[in-house]
Structure 1
């Protein structure tokens, strides 16, 4: 009978997992306990860091009473002040050349300035909540909770750079619609009143960033927001909600409707937020940080250029005068190596335009031979204009906002012009550097292969100008604030496109400027001062000289203004200034 039961028992699997549970139970319980304790640790660590940051901000408001203020802030957040391990006062170095982790200086030895205390570093530590892993003793992998936060009272300013608020004419409005429309791939239809409203008003930067964050669903920091790529449609609607004037809001809303949702803009090349980048989105409306202005037209023009659209307005921006055609055949821009709008402390806050290269084709009627030249290629190079906040003077007065002065180190860009054949990649984006040695003679005329004319010319460069502009009492400009745009100030050299092109005429007369060849051979009298060469030279230079004042300058002035650039100038705004705002650094 027993023998008959053995096969049955062998096949019976009931209770087979019991030994497995007995063997693995401890490991399963341990893994579950570790997961629970690890989850509690990361949650508690995040909460402690937030409380420590709040304590550092509170302490930075009055560094002389830093320890007491830090302890009070911890108590308000439900923590025992005894978790404070250290409260160190020092100075924050607002210097972009100093690594971020070295800008807090407790010794006052590295930081420039007057040595006043303006920063506090707070360290906290407390036991982590542990349940099952506690039994592991010294082998417990869950560490104690600890956090460090540094806050500083920072004097900050907002700076913007562009061509300035220009007189709005029909020609400028046409350039705005044609050029920006060409970049965006749409038919812009802005009226004179719309362009005036955009150019004459600011957008509240803080409200704009918060509105944009809400539209695109960003819940992190302002750095997270400005690392995004967003639609120009959303960007314009967010700006409209933060505009200072109803007519500006209406114009921005109109632009949003005309561009649609397909054109996207990477924000990283537009904005520099300095020490405000770590602030959670949504807080600008409640704190003075980032409450500076952004000119509404600059925002549109620079955002359009930052997107993927190519700048091509050759048809819309051609002009014909007395049988001579001025055609803009290509425009290229350089890399965006600094933001257009920037907010932060002195020493690490800067803004700039990108470099710009414009190719003109001048079609000429050479009456001497009864023929025309289709295109004399002219290149104009405009180097980037730059602005850096070099000083913020916050006086200890009751009228601090009115008495504050901001110093800006500004420079306008070097301007060059060439006639000749540029390298094939000269007009790519971003455009490569270009020098006079890169320009080769361009074939501008060939008569039955018997007579050929090659031209090469280099204008005398118009040097940029640089210096310090002061905004505030006694300065060249005034400081703006939300609802009240400040007064701009400019630095420049008065250069015009016409002046540049006129200087090219003299360069053409040089021995290597205009080359005339007959039957493939350079005949000495024709290559020097011969009558034929002189007549050809006059036939080319006379119409060019006649064009520059009446056609080229207005054409390019409006073109550059539409892009936010003024040839040879840097026009700056201090869009806001705040003294002693506590921020995490």
Structure 2
């Protein structure tokens, strides 16, 4: 009994030891397999992280190429080369190819697509990408690059001969081009006299102190601030919103936190100016030339715009085609007249450096001055004498002139970005187009005369002398000047001696007919001024110059003069958006 029990116990223990050994083998095998799977998973995860880093760096490098001024095709080519170089530098050996398909990355390598990233594009919002590779190159420029990197990695402990696992990483880099805001004016931004000029444009109603005006000169407002103040959703809606001049001023001053000046700016402003503004289609887009193709215009939303300049430009848009009231602005001889009309209002420019095949200057972002007609009629003679007898014997001298202040344009041809805003620079090329002068019609100083004009009527008792002039229009070209300015800088560029040149050209083109009537018998002599042009032009300029200079000083305008202002330079950094 005892021996049998001992033998059974021994067999049971032996069987138990055998069972534990089998369980241990199974357990160890399971742990080993789990370890191998974990190593494989970790290896795949690590390679995926590497691949994503390659895609991120390639997208950023490619997007940087979109900040350069060039055609869309050249920018795409450079983006592809930059992505390839970045991949190689980061240990990726696959070839880069251009692929703007809906789901690229089906084979090993790098698929690169330069396209448009727009967070407001609902149709391209799938997966949070907001990216489309197809766009209208005439209306848009690429502002983002999508990079998809695919690579097959081996399974370390898989079935021998297996294909491995194909990994895929995607990144989208956005690079809005650096933009600048600038303006060019014919002396209109010479702020020593701009308050008086604005007063004339607003009907002599402005009552703004010098310190308040200087505060507006030193204040900027952004498109995004104007958009929020206007309560619209996009910059495009802001640009197209129709406004009266009062509404425009309220919008700009409100966005700049200068609403306290609104009454001083518009108190008693004639209602006709508001009506003119609506008739002229006043809106932010008429004041700004936004040289940024959609949807990249959002890159200009944070560029600072000078408040004083916006107010001045809007007033000129409102007065387009209308005669500005110059009564009392410049002291003239009794009987003399002045007339000023804004033919084409100026515009401020906001945009990037980008060549243009359609703009005459060859650059897309350009600002221009206003084009004005200045009519002046100087009269000296009978109006100075009260006596009817004496006035009948007093000679009358009349000189009606029309001076056209043609448009000057400034183009953004270069930008230098830097971390510190003060170190940023904008390069502007300014071209002054022709100015012209002609004899004007006496009953309409805004039109050149098309027939002989009487300049003098001299009674000499039994004799009578009349001097007539045959009108000829002469043009005087300006010159091109390159300027490099920092944000907030101002430079005045001008073609010297333009007023004297205009007067000399006028004198050179005056063919005078002197008619002497003696006892009713007329004798006419034609007088060519070629030989005495210097002496005559100096006399004319001596009489005309001070008056014109006084008028132009009151309006802040000079002939062939351009005031350049760089309001802001914005250099957005390239960033990953997916």
Give the TM bin, normalised by the shorter chain.
0.5 to 0.7
Indicate conservation of the 8 Å contact 2:58/2:86, yes or no: no
Q: Aligned to 2:375, what secondary structure does the other structure show?
A: strand
Structure 2 residue 18 is matched with structure 1 residue 65: no
Q: Does 1:442 align with 2:441?
A: no
> Which residue of structure 1 aligns with residue 167 of structure 2?
none
**Partner of residue 469 from structure 1, selected from 452, 465, 483:** 483
How far 1:354 moved relative to its partner?
A: 2.9
Q: Equivalent residue of 2:311, what SS?
A: helix
2:179 pairs with 1:180:
no
Match of 1:139?
none
Query: Is the contact made by 2:366 and 2:411 (CA closer than 8 Å) also made in structure 1?
Result: yes
Name which of 485, 490, 501 aligns with 1:488: 490
TM-superposition CA deviations, 1:279-303 (whole Å, max 9, x none): 69xxx7xxx7433333333212211
The residue aligned with 1:294 is 305
Question: How many pairs were matched up?
Answer: 420
Show CA shifts across 1:446-479 (max 9, x none). 67997543224668654312121112xxxxxx22
Which structure 1 residue ranges, 5 or more long, are not aligned? 1-61, 71-86, 127-142, 429-433, 472-477, 480-485
CA contact (8 A) 2:491 2:565 kept: yes
Q: In structure 1, how many angstroms separate the alpha carbons of the residues matched to 2:54 and 2:329?
A: 63
CA-atom RMSD in angstroms: 4.9
Contact map agreement 2:381 2:395 (CA 8 A) in 1: yes
Contact 1:420 1:456 in 2 (8 A): no
2:356 corresponds to 1:340: no
Matched-pair contact (CA < 8 Å) for 2:428–2:484 = yes
The reply to whether residue 235 of structure 1 matches residue 248 of structure 2 is: yes
Name the residue aligned to 1:352. 368
Is the aligned partner of 1:523 residue 2:537? no
Residue 546 of structure 2: aligned partner: 550
Asked if structure 1 preserves the Cα contact closer than 8 Å seen for 2:229 and 2:254, the reply is: no
Alpha-carbon distance change, 382 to 573 in structure 1, aligned in 2, over 3 angstroms: same
Distance 1:427 1:391 in 2: 39
**Aligned 8 A contact 2:375 2:440 in 1:** no
Q: 1:255 aligns with which of 261, 265, 268?
A: 265
Q: CA deviation at 1:314?
A: 4.5
Instruction: Name the TM-score, length of structure 2 as normaliser.
Output: 0.59
Q: Which residue of 2 aligns with 1:331?
A: 341
Return 5+ residue gaps in structure 2 as ranges.
1-51, 88-97, 105-122, 134-141, 145-174, 356-363, 385-390
* Among candidates 561, 566, 575, match of residue 574 of structure 1: 566
Query: Could you say if the C-alpha distance between residues 422 and 408 of structure 1 is closer, same or farther in structure 2, counting changes exceeding 3 Å?
Result: farther
CA shift digits 1:226-283 (9 cap, x unpaired): 122212222212222343xx7x654355324544765432333211223375369xxx
Shift of the 94–268 alpha-carbon distance from structure 1 to 2, 3 Å rule, reads farther
Residue 403 of structure 1: CA displacement? 3.1
Q: CA separation in 2, counterparts of 1:393 and 1:341?
A: 17
SS in 1 for 2:251: helix
Offset of residue 554 of structure 1: 1.6
8 A Cα contact 2:224 2:235, kept in partner:
no
Indicate conservation of the 8 Å contact 1:391/1:406, yes or no: yes
Deviation at 1:166, TM superposition (A): 2.9
Q: CA deviation at 1:492?
A: 1.4
The question of 1:168 aligning with 2:164 is answered no
- The answer as to 2:208 corresponding to 1:209 is no
Give the distance between the partners of 1:388 and 1:375, measured in 2 at CA.
Answer: 41
Residue of 77, 80, 84 corresponding to 1:107: 77
Q: Which residue of 1 aligns with 2:162?
A: none
